[in-house]
Amino acid sequence: MADVRPESLKRITTRAQADDFIADQIAAIKEQVGDKKVLLALSGGVDSSVVAALLIKAIGENLVCVHVNHGLLRKGEPEMVCKVFRDELGANLIYIDAVDRFLDLLAGVTDPEQKRHIIGEEFIKVFAEEAAKLDGISFLAQGTIYPDILESEQGIKAHHNVGGLPPELDFELVEPVKYLYKDEVRVVGSALGLPDNMVYRQPFPGPGLGVRCPGAITRDRLEAVRESDAILREEFEKAGLAGKVWQYFTVVPDFKSTGIKDEKRAFEWLCIVRAINTTDVVKCTVEPIDYDLMCRITDRITHEVPGINRVLYDYTPKPTATVEYE
Ligand code: XMP
């Protein structure tokens, strides 16, 4: 039977509506879970973060959050997850440093689909191993939102949260935001006290920076993607574009060109800046970036990021291009 948003659930646009929703969900979670333990894969994305904050309010220590660092996260993200959830919200958080494990597996892999597959499979393995170490877990919380349900029912995409969990993870699901749209999840996240940079975070693909490092991922080029992405985010923030442009990021392909650094020939990578706007992600337009801003970003990336001697801006809409490069 189709899983349909209840008619009684009105659109959540205000703080008062969010507070009511939070109170209702806390009661519902308490009733569903009782004094049992719940496990949650906390990526730092909006949806899983809001679910974590809700469950912490409802059941406190009985929520066990697992944050897997696969080495493909943006600069400062694992630290932010630990700071917000462990230090500020007092979450029972297990941090797994799986960076070497993922990067070793990905070494030399050039095919985009194979890269995605390895990242997805390994994530599930790491998570399942961690779950097996824990005693008395009966529930699995997920940041499923309403578009996930609609899209999986229409066959547009596999339900990204349910998709690949192995059968031995035989948990009952807790999905407190499954009838909400993204903008409603954000209102609830703010009402729960989560920081703006978490709540209004731009979309970030599951395979992370892995798809922005086209070709075989190497640690040095991955670092160049991470550092250039951090500079771009900083400059967009300063220019007041952070909440306005839908998605923006850098890509460092496995390609070098000749340049000059410190008056010497420098054969280094190029960095592509992409900034797009969209309402449905099916079609995207390119942000008409200000010339001076682009010069500043270029200057910073070529001088601050080791291995980059050239910056390009991608003017291609979707279609013909996709948003990501892989
Ligand atoms: P494309 O490149 O298909 O991207 O035009 C459309 C949107 O989807 C995001 N994206 C992904 N998100 N896992 C995700 O969770 C993925 O494998 C993935 N690939 C692309 C992309 O960032 C953009 O917002």
Structure tokens at 298: 């270029």
Residue 121 has pLDDT above 50, yes or no: yes
Kindly report, residue by residue over 5-40, the tens digit of the pLDDT. Answer: 999 999 999 999 999 999 999 999 999 999 999 999
> So what's the pLDDT on residue 107?
98
Are 326 and 253 in contact by the 8 Å Cβ rule? The answer is no
Task: Decide if pLDDT at 193 tops 90.
Answer: yes
CA distance readout (Å), 50 to 141, 154, 166, 261: 11, 26, 24, 46
Q: Is the pLDDT of residue 163 over 80?
A: no
Task: Determine if ligand 1 sits within 6 Å of the CB of residue 317.
Answer: no
Averaged pLDDT of the chain: 94
**How does residue 167 score in pLDDT terms, banded at 50, 70 and 90?**
low
The response to whether residue 151 sits with its C-beta less than 6 Å from ligand 1 reads no
Does the beta carbon of 205 sit less than 6 angstroms from any atom of ligand 1? yes
* pLDDT over threshold 90, residue 123: yes
Contacts of 312 (CB under 8 A, 6+ apart): 270, 271, 272, 273
- The angle subtended at Cα 96 by Cα 95 and Cα 101, nearest 5°, is 165
* pLDDT tops 50 at residue 162: no
The protein residue with its alpha carbon nearest to ligand 1, atom 12, reads: 205
Tokens 């409603």 locate to 184
DSSP state for residue 318 in the 8-state scheme: B
What is the predicted pLDDT for the residue at 2? 80
Q: Alpha-carbon distance 319 to 300, whole Å?
A: 30
Ligand 1 contact, 324 CB (< 6 A): yes
Assess whether the C-beta atom of 310 lies below 6 angstroms from ligand 1: no
Q: What is the mean predicted confidence (pLDDT) over 68-87?
A: 97
pLDDT at position 165 is 60
**Interatomic CA distance for residues 52 and 306, integer angstroms:** 37
pTM greater than 0.85 (yes/no) = yes
What is the predicted pLDDT for the residue at 158?
52
Look at residue 1 and tell me whether its pLDDT is greater than 80.
no
Q: Report pLDDT for 151.
A: 82
Mean per-residue pLDDT, 143-147: 93
pLDDT in the model for residue 160? 47
Q: 116 in ligand 1 pocket by Cβ < 6 Å?
A: yes
Task: Give the residue whose CA is nearest to atom 23 of ligand 1.
Answer: 323
Give the pLDDT mean for 160-176.
70
Cα of 63 vs centre of ligand 1, distance in Å, is: 29
Interval 317-325 mean pLDDT: 97
Q: For tokens 């809001």, name the residue.
A: 50
Which residue has the least CA distance to atom 11 on ligand 1? 205
- The CA 223 to ligand 1 mean position distance, Å, reads 21
CA dist 13 and 16 (Å) reads 9
> If you average pLDDT over residues 70-84, what whole number do you get?
97
Atom 18 of ligand 1: nearest residue by CA position: 205
pLDDT per position as a tens digit, 230-260? 999 999 999 999 989 999 999 999 999 999 9
pLDDT surpasses 90 at 161: no
Quick one: pLDDT band at residue 166, thresholds 50, 70, 90?
Answer: low
The ligand 1 atom at the shortest distance from the C-alpha of residue 325 is 2
Q: What is the pLDDT of residues 267-307, one digit of tens each?
A: 999 999 999 999 988 999 999 999 999 999 999 999 999 99
